[in-house]
Amino acid sequence: MREVFENPAVTDPVEAARRGARPAPVRRFYQKATTAAVDGAYAVRLDDKTVRTPAGRVLAAPTLVLAQAIADEWNAQGELIDPSKMSLTRLANAVIDGVVDRRGAVTAEVAKYLGTDLVCYRASGPQGLVERQSRQWDPILIWAREALGARFKVGEGVGHVAQPVAAIAAAEAAIPTDPWRLGAVHVATTLTGSALIALALAHGNLSAEEVWQAAHVDEDWNIEQWGSDDIAMERRAFQFAEFQAAATVLRLL
């Protein structure tokens, strides 16, 4: 809906999704959202009218269950349509408008994270944080080594750790090629700061809850030590909604 969702710049699926949250709520103009089979996919319809993305393409998902989940999001709106609470629709728009025609570029964006992946950079102290990072992140590296044949190196501090070319290539080969799964992995990667964590989610090695916890080891540690602030928690809640949309796409495909 061009009146509801802003036109994404189609250069970054995450930014496209976030732009979709900026417009102010508008009054609901439909009674019910449904789905319909269209050209091998399942389109979302509002009172039997086709829904279009900001770029003018049909809002349609590759599976009925995913299309229904998007329709449910529209049905859950009240008197006003609030795009900021429609993370799955925003992700669908981003995939259709920003990933389908540029899979190579999006894959490259995900692959960039492999060279400086979050799980490869460890704290030297305090001991509690060191142990927590090891407990959460070591299994991901073990999975990457055993399942993907990717042997990543770990270092302390923020100094650059040069990763083996073979490790990056092996992990990059595991990035999904399907545009919907690729878009979801891109979102998960940028929100967690780790392509390896996102790939573990996409390949079923970690649950969505485990991924979110692994991505926030440092932040949660700091919150426990120093407390949290409202602005940071509000930002994290929005990011969690974006992440849940990505996890939903991966789960329903």
Claim to verify: residue 107 and residue 133 sit in the same structural domain: yes
Tokens of 91: 């992700």
Sequence-distant (≥ 6) Cβ neighbours of residue 166 within 8 angstroms: 150, 151
CATH number for the domain harbouring residue 197: 1.10.3580.10
Q: What is the pLDDT of residues 42-77, one digit of tens each?
A: 999 999 899 999 999 999 999 999 999 999 999 999
What is the share, in percent, of the chain residues with pLDDT greater than 70? 91
Claim to verify: residue 137 and residue 231 sit in the same structural domain: yes
Q: Which helix (H) or strand (E) holds 24?
A: none
**Under a CB-based contact definition with an 8 Å cutoff, are residues 161 and 153 in contact?**
yes
CATH number for the domain harbouring residue 76: 3.30.2180.10
Tokens of 119: 């799980």
pLDDT recorded at residue 25: 80
Claim to verify: residue 76 and residue 170 sit in the same structural domain: no
Q: How many residues does the chain have?
A: 253
The verdict on residue 169 lying in a domain is yes
> Which neighbouring-strand residues pair with 27?
80
Mean pLDDT of 156-169: 95
Q: Name the average pLDDT for the chain.
A: 92
The verdict on residue 219 lying in a domain is yes
> Which neighbouring-strand residues pair with 33?
46
pTM for this one?
0.91
> Which neighbouring-strand residues pair with 81?
26
Out of 98, 115, 136, pick the residue that ends a domain: 98
Q: What is the pLDDT of residues 74-125, one digit of tens each?
A: 999 999 999 888 999 999 999 999 999 999 999 999 999 999 999 999 999 9
Q: Which helix (H) or strand (E) holds 161?
A: none
Domain count for the chain, please give it: 2
Residue 18 pLDDT grade (very low, low, confident, very high; cuts 50, 70, 90): very low
For helices 127-143 and 195-202, what crossing angle results, to 10°?
50
- Residue 20 domain boundaries: 13-98
Claim to verify: residue 132 and residue 202 sit in the same structural domain: yes
